[in-house]
Amino acid sequence: MVLKERQEGVLILTLNRPEKLNAITGALLDELYQALKEAQEDPGVRALLLTGAGRAFSAGQDLGEFGEGKPDYEAHLRRYNRVVEALAGLEKPLVVAVNGVAAGAGMSLALWGDLRLAAQEASFTPAFVRIGLVPDSGMSFILPRLVGFAKAQELLLLSPRLSAEEAQALGLVHRVVPGERLSEEALALARELAQGPTRAYALTKKLLLETYRLSLTEALALEAILQGEAGRTQDHEEGVRAFREKRPPRFVGR
C-alpha cells in the first residue's frame, strides 16, 4: 500500500492503491507511520518524497472502510494523528509531488510537505463538509497558516475543487509542472535537499511551526537556542570553510 524506494539519500514513499484513488485506510496509515519512523531514525535518509500511484494523489479516507452504521471516528483519528505528528516532526525535508486529485485527508497529507509540487492536472478539495464532516489530519491547523484565515474559512466551508494553478496562487503549492515532468522535478529537488545541511533544515522547520504559538520574546529566544545548536554542527563549519575557499560546500547532514 505504501511503496518505499531509496535513491541515495532520498526515500521515495508512494501511496499505492491506484484502483481506489489511493484512498486512505487504517492499514495504509500504519504502513506510512512505520515508514516515516524508520526514515526519521535512519541517518542515511536525508530527504523524503511523497507521491501517489496512478491518476490520484489521494481521495482521502476510504469511505468504504467502515461499512454501514456509526463508526468511531475519534478512535480512527488516532491512527491519522500519529502520521501527522510524524510528518510535522520529521527532521528531514519532505517534498510532496501531487500527481492528481488530493481530497480530504489526502489534501491534508499533501499540505504537510515542506515543498509542494503539483502536476498541471492535479486538483485539491477539502471535501470534509461535503460529507458532513469537519477538517482533520491537521487541516484546520495548517490551512489557515498557509492561506490565511479568511481563505481557509472559504475553502473549508464551501469545499471548492481547486486546480493546480489556483492552489499555487493561494500558496498551497510552490511549483506547478507538466504531469510528465513531475517525478523528475520532485526527485531533483529531493536530491538537492538530501545534499544539504540536514540539521539546519530540521531546526528551520521546527522554528516555522513553533513560532506561531510564541510571543516575539519567546520566538527570539528559541531562534537563539536553535542557532546555538546549528552553530555547533559540522555542516556549519563546512559551510563557512567552503565560503572562505570560494567552493561549493560538501554537507554531511550532521
Binding site for ligand LHQ (CB under 6 A): 20-21, 23, 59-64, 73, 76-77, 80, 101, 103-105, 125, 127-128, 131, 133, 136
Task: Please list, in sequence order, all residues whose beta carbon lies within 8 angstroms of the beta carbon of residue 3, skipping any fewer than 6 positions away.
Answer: 12, 13, 14, 16, 53
Q: How far is the CB of 21 from ligand LHQ (least distance, A)?
A: 5
Q: How far is the CB of 17 from ligand LHQ (least distance, A)?
A: 9
CA-closest candidate to residue 154, choices 166, 165, 164: 166
CB nearer to ligand LHQ: give 80 or 201.
80
Residue 187 to residue 196: CA distance in whole angstroms = 14
Q: How far is the CB of 123 from ligand LHQ (least distance, A)?
A: 7
Q: How far is the CB of 99 from ligand LHQ (least distance, A)?
A: 13
CB nearer to ligand LHQ: give 109 or 226.
109
Is the Cβ–Cβ distance between 35 and 4 less than 8 Å? yes
CB nearer to ligand LHQ: give 139 or 147.
139
Q: How far is the CB of 60 from ligand LHQ (least distance, A)?
A: 3
Is the Cβ–Cβ distance between 140 and 96 less than 8 Å? no
CB nearer to ligand LHQ: give 75 or 150.
75
Helix axes 149-158, 139-147, angle to 10 degrees: 130
Q: How far is the CB of 108 from ligand LHQ (least distance, A)?
A: 7
C-alpha cell at 133: 464532516
CA-closest candidate to residue 136, choices 106, 115, 116: 106
CB nearer to ligand LHQ: give 58 or 198.
58
Q: How far is the CB of 212 from ligand LHQ (least distance, A)?
A: 23
**Please, which residues bridge with residue 14 across strands?**
3, 51
Please state the length of the chain.
254
CB nearer to ligand LHQ: give 39 or 102.
102
